[in-house]
Structure 1
Amino acid sequence: MDSIGAAPVTALGARTEIDTEIDVAAERARTVGAGLSHHFNAAGAALPSHGVIAAVVEHLRLEERYGGYEAAAAVRERSDDVYAAAAELLGANPHEIALFDSASTGLRVLMDALRAMSGTRIVASSTTYVSHAMHLMTIARGHDADLVVAPVDAQRRLDVDALDALLADGRPTIVTVSHIPTSSGLIEPAERIGEITRRHGATYLLDATQSVGHLKVDVGAIGCDALVTTGRKFLRGPRGTGLAYVHESLIERLKPTAPDVRGAQWVTQSGWELSPDARRFESWESAVAARLGLGVAVREAIARSPESTERWLRARAGLLRSALADIPGVMITDPEGAASAIVTFVVDGVECGAVVERLAARNVRVVSVPATHGQWDLGVRKLSSVVRASVHVYNDDNDLGALVDAVRLVAAGRDGEARG
C-alpha cells in the first residue's frame, strides 16, 4: 500500500485521477538531484532538469570556444524563443516580456519606472516579500508617497472588500500583491484583485515569484498590469534568471529610471529613444547561458501542463499538510484554507533552524523562514520563524514518507538530538 510515513495515503485522502496527471517517475529520471536527497525546497530553488543544465553547459562551452559575443549571436533565435515561451506560458505577447537576473530586480525596475510621486498611494499585500517591502518603504519615504499595508480577511488573504472601499476615492494608486508568499501556503485572490483595480483605475503589479510554474497563471484572466517572477523556484530554471510581463498599454507609460543600451538608442547629444516593447526595461549584460536554460525550463513547464501541475501539486501538498498536522507536537502555521504546494509548520519545543538541521541529517531538505523575511505577515502573527516544505513534481511517495517520518522523530525527541 502507498504510504506517507506510518499513515496510509487512503487514511489521508483517497487517490484520484489527479495522481496520474504527472509522470513522477519520468520527472525523477530527468532530475539528477531527485535521487540524491528528499528535496522539499522548490519555493527556494527547485531541482532543475537535465535538459535545463545541458542547455546552460552547452552554451558555456560555446562561449569557451568562440567568445561571449560570438556565442550569443549564434543562438539568437533560441534566445528570442525565451520571450515567446514565457509569453505562451503566461497568456501574453512576446513584446510584453522582459528578462531580468532576478524577480527582485524586475520588481525594483518596474516600481522605479512607475515613478510614485507625492500624493501617490501604494497598497501592498501583507504577504509582500522582504526585498520588495523594503524597496516600497524606501520609495514612500523618498517621494512622500503613502504606503498602506492592505487589510486581511479571516484567512489572512488580502481583504478584497476593504480594497474596493479604499480605492473608491479615485486617488492614484499602485496595488502590489504577492500571489503566494514566502511565509505560508496561502494563495491571494489575484483575479478578484484584478477586477477591483481595473474598475478603479489603479495600477496592479503582481509578484508571482512563487506561483509561476506552480499554478496556472494567465495574465489576461488575472487582469494585472504587470507581473514578475523568478526562474529558480517552481519554474525549475537556473539561478540568476527572472522575467516580467508588462501590458502593452503600461509599457508606453513607463520610462526606466536608468535606460540602458539594451532598451534604448542614444540618438542626439542630449536625447534617446526607448524600445517600444518591454525590453526597454532590460540591461545589455546578461548570462546568456542561464537565459537559455530558463527557456528550456519554461518549455518543460508548458509541456507538463500548468493546469495538471497545479492540481497535482496542490493535492500532494494537501496530503502532506494533513499528515504533518496529525503528528503530536507539530502545528501547521499556514492560514486556514491555505492550499498551495507550500506547507509551513513549527515543532513544539524545537527552534525552526534546528528542525531544518535535524531533517537535513536525515537527508530531507527544507528551510526555515524567519520573521525578518515577512514582518507584515509572520511578524504580525508573532511567529519568529516557520519551517517551510514545498512539493514539486519530482517528489514521490518515498520523499513524502521520509519527510513525515523525520518530523515525527524530531517532534518525539527521538532523532538523536536533545530537545531544546
Structure 2
Amino acid sequence: MQSQTTSHLNITQLRADTPGCQDSLFMNSAGASLMPQPVVQAMQDYLQLETQLGGYEVERMQQAQIAKLYEETARLLNTKPGNIAYAYSATDAMIQALSAIPFRAGDTILTTNNDYVSNQLAFLSMQLRFGIRLLRVNDLPNGDLDLTHLDELIRTYRPVLVAITHMPTNSGLVLPAEEVGKLCHEYGVWYLLDAAQSVGQLTLDVNRIQADFLVATGRKFLRGPRNTGFLYVSDRVLEAGLSPLFIDRRAATWTSPETYTLQTSARRFEPQEISLLTVGLAEAVHYANQVGIDAISQQNQNLMHQLRTGLQQLDGLTLLDWGSQQGNILTFHTIRQSLPTLEATLRRERVFFTTQYSASALIDFQRKGVDWLIRLSPHYFNTMDEIDAVVDILAQALG
C-alpha cells in the first residue's frame, strides 16, 4: 500500500484489510481498535515459525522484522530509531520513564486534571511512598489547559517533571503538547507526554513537541496487538545517563561482577522478551505510515465532525467533551434512558463502544456531574454511512 493523501484514501481497500468492520459499527478504537489483516498475518507467520523452531531461534532469524519497529516508529514521530524502545504497554513505558528520574522527597510533579487514571495512581503512590508533591494545572472555563497557570507553577515550584496526557481516555479534549513542551524546554524541566490516545490518529513530531519521554500503546489508534507499546526517549535523556531503576539484560552489558555498561540508545529502557507481538506492533506502525498519518488525521476530523454534528441535534443527549481542540473520542450522557437499556440497544444493533464510570477519571466526572458516560471513537476505516447509522440508532433509543 502506497502512502496516500486524504482525498485518495482507498476506503474500500482499508475495509477489506479490516474484516471486523464488515458486520458491525465499530466505534471503539480508543479502547482496542481492529487490527488490519497484514498485522494479523505477520503475527501468525511468526507464531508458526515459533512452533517449528522455538522462540530464541525465530528471534535470531527475524532481526530485520524486529528492527522494523524502531525504523517505522521513528518515521512516525520524526526521530531516530535509537530514540525508540519497545514496551509492553503505555503504562509500562510510563513506569520505566518515571523510574529513571532521580526523584527525592519534596520534589514536585506537575500534571493536569485530565491525566490518565493509571498515571495518577502512579503519582499518588510516589507521593505516599517517597514524599513527592503532586500539583495539578488549572483548566480554563472552556476546558483548555491554563498555560499561564502552568508557567506560574513551574516558576514557583521548580518541578522535576511535567507529565500530561495528550488526549484523555474519557474525553475528546486534545491538550496543547507543543506549548507545554516550549515551557518545559525554557525552564529545563523533564517533560513526559502520554500519547496513548493520540498516536495513530494525530500527526506527532517529537522535535516540535520537545518531550523528553513520550509513551504510547499499540492497541488503540495504531491498530496493533494488545500488550504492546513503545517509549520515545530524547537525546537529552540519553546524554544525561538516565536509565530505569530495574535494568533488564537487553538494556545493559554485565562487564564485571560489580559493574555494567548501559546501552547507548533508548533500548536501555527495554524488557528482555521480544515476540510475535513486537512484530505485530512493527507491522501496525508500518501500516499507519503507508496509509499516511496526515491522511488518517484528516479523515478522522471529517468523521468526528459528522458524528458530533449529528449527536448535538438529539434532544436529551449531553455531549461531555470540552476544549477548543478535540480528537477522535466523543463522550455523552443522558437522563432520558437508563444505562442498561441504552447499552442493550447499542449492542443489539452491533455498535461497539465503551462505558466508563467515575473511577476512570474522578476529577473530570465530578466537575461534569455524571457517574457514567458512553464513549464512541471511530477511526479512518469507518464510513460516513456508519456514522449516520449510529446517530439514527441513538435517536431511536432516546425516543
1:299 aligns with 2:286: yes
Q: CA deviation at 1:59?
A: 0.2
Indicate the SS of the match to 1:210: coil
Residue matched to 1:196? 183
Structure 2 counterpart of 1:316, one-letter code: L
The answer for unaligned runs of 5 or more in structure 1 is 1-17, 413-420
Question: Which moves more between the two structures, 255-264 or 334-343?
Answer: 334-343
Aligned with residue 157 of structure 1, among 144, 149, 155:
144
Are the structure 2 counterparts of residues 314 and 68 from structure 1 closer, same or farther at C-alpha, using a change threshold of 3 Å?
A: same
Residue matched to 2:16? 29
In the TM superposition, what whole-angstrom CA distance separates every residue of 1:322-362 from its partner, at most 9, and x where no partner exists? 10110111111111534211111112233445423320111
Tell me how far apart the structure 2 counterparts of residues 19 and 65 of structure 1 sit (CA, whole Å): 42
Structure 1 counterpart of 2:328, one-letter code: A
Tell me how far apart the structure 2 counterparts of residues 104 and 339 of structure 1 sit (CA, whole Å): 23
Residue matched to 2:384? 397
Tell me how far apart the structure 1 counterparts of residues 321 and 229 of structure 2 sit (CA, whole Å): 27
In the TM superposition, what whole-angstrom CA distance separates every residue of 1:38-62 from its partner, at most 9, and x where no partner exists? 1000000111100000001010000
In the TM superposition, what whole-angstrom CA distance separates every residue of 1:288-340 from its partner, at most 9, and x where no partner exists? 21111111111111111111211210221011011011011111111153421
Residue matched to 2:196? 209
Q: CA deviation at 1:81?
A: 1.5
Residue matched to 2:265? 277
Q: CA deviation at 1:97?
A: 0.4
Aligned with residue 347 of structure 1, among 334, 337, 348:
334
Are the structure 2 counterparts of residues 334 and 172 from structure 1 closer, same or farther at C-alpha, using a change threshold of 3 Å?
A: closer
Residue matched to 2:254? 266
Tell me how far apart the structure 1 counterparts of residues 58 and 50 of structure 2 sit (CA, whole Å): 5
Tell me how far apart the structure 2 counterparts of residues 70 and 53 of structure 1 sit (CA, whole Å): 21
Structure 2 counterpart of 1:243, one-letter code: F
Residue matched to 1:333? 320
Question: Which moves more between the two structures, 246-255 or 102-111?
Answer: 246-255
Tell me how far apart the structure 2 counterparts of residues 199 and 226 of structure 1 sit (CA, whole Å): 16
Structure 2 counterpart of 1:142, one-letter code: R
Structure 2 counterpart of 1:59, one-letter code: Y
Residue matched to 1:86? 73
2:224–2:281 contact (8 Å) kept in structure 1: yes
Structure 1 counterpart of 2:380, one-letter code: V
Question: Which moves more between the two structures, 205-214 or 381-390?
Answer: 381-390
Size of the aligned set, in residue pairs, is 394
Are the structure 2 counterparts of residues 125 and 352 from structure 1 closer, same or farther at C-alpha, using a change threshold of 3 Å?
A: farther
Structure 2 counterpart of 1:259, one-letter code: I
Are the structure 2 counterparts of residues 379 and 109 from structure 1 closer, same or farther at C-alpha, using a change threshold of 3 Å?
A: farther
1:187 aligns with 2:149: no
Q: CA deviation at 1:172?
A: 3.7
Indicate the SS of the match to 1:168: helix
The answer for unaligned runs of 5 or more in structure 2 is none
Question: Which moves more between the two structures, 236-245 or 339-348?
Answer: 339-348
Q: CA deviation at 1:22?
A: 2.7
Residue matched to 1:7? none
Indicate the SS of the match to 1:404: helix
Tell me how far apart the structure 1 counterparts of residues 183 and 177 of structure 2 sit (CA, whole Å): 10
Tell me how far apart the structure 2 counterparts of residues 232 and 354 of structure 1 sit (CA, whole Å): 29
Tell me how far apart the structure 1 counterparts of residues 255 and 339 of structure 2 sit (CA, whole Å): 56
Indicate the SS of the match to 2:143: coil
1:150–1:163 contact (8 Å) kept in structure 2: yes
Structure 2 counterpart of 1:106, one-letter code: A
Tell me how far apart the structure 2 counterparts of residues 84 and 350 of structure 1 sit (CA, whole Å): 49
1:322 aligns with 2:306: no
Question: Which moves more between the two structures, 186-195 or 354-363?
Answer: 354-363
Indicate the SS of the match to 2:369: coil
Are the structure 2 counterparts of residues 326 and 110 from structure 1 closer, same or farther at C-alpha, using a change threshold of 3 Å?
A: same
Tell me how far apart the structure 2 counterparts of residues 51 and 388 of structure 1 sit (CA, whole Å): 28
Q: If the length of structure 1 is used for normalisation, what is the TM-score?
A: 0.91
Residue matched to 1:39? 26
2:110–2:159 contact (8 Å) kept in structure 1: no
Aligned with residue 255 of structure 1, among 240, 243, 246:
243
1:345–1:388 contact (8 Å) kept in structure 2: yes
Indicate the SS of the match to 1:27: helix
1:208–1:228 contact (8 Å) kept in structure 2: yes
Aligned with residue 105 of structure 2, among 112, 115, 118:
118
Tell me how far apart the structure 2 counterparts of residues 385 and 253 of structure 1 sit (CA, whole Å): 44
Question: Which moves more between the two structures, 19-28 or 203-212?
Answer: 19-28
Aligned with residue 229 of structure 2, among 205, 221, 242:
242
Tell me how far apart the structure 2 counterparts of residues 66 and 403 of structure 1 sit (CA, whole Å): 47
Residue matched to 1:77? 64
Tell me how far apart the structure 2 counterparts of residues 165 and 353 of structure 1 sit (CA, whole Å): 45
Tell me how far apart the structure 2 counterparts of residues 139 and 126 of structure 1 sit (CA, whole Å): 18
Indicate the SS of the match to 2:156: coil
2:76–2:289 contact (8 Å) kept in structure 1: yes
CA RMSD, aligned part only?
Answer: 1.5
1:40–1:365 contact (8 Å) kept in structure 2: yes
Q: CA deviation at 1:379?
A: 2.9
Tell me how far apart the structure 2 counterparts of residues 262 and 379 of structure 1 sit (CA, whole Å): 44
Q: If the length of structure 2 is used for normalisation, what is the TM-score?
A: 0.95
Indicate the SS of the match to 2:330: strand
1:356–1:367 contact (8 Å) kept in structure 2: no
Tell me how far apart the structure 1 counterparts of residues 394 and 325 of structure 2 sit (CA, whole Å): 20
Indicate the SS of the match to 1:359: helix
Aligned with residue 92 of structure 2, among 86, 91, 105:
105
Q: CA deviation at 1:155?
A: 2.2
Tell me how far apart the structure 1 counterparts of residues 93 and 338 of structure 2 sit (CA, whole Å): 34
The equivalences for 1:336-415 within 5 A come to 336-352=323-339, 354-412=341-399
Residue identity over aligned pairs, in percent, reads 30
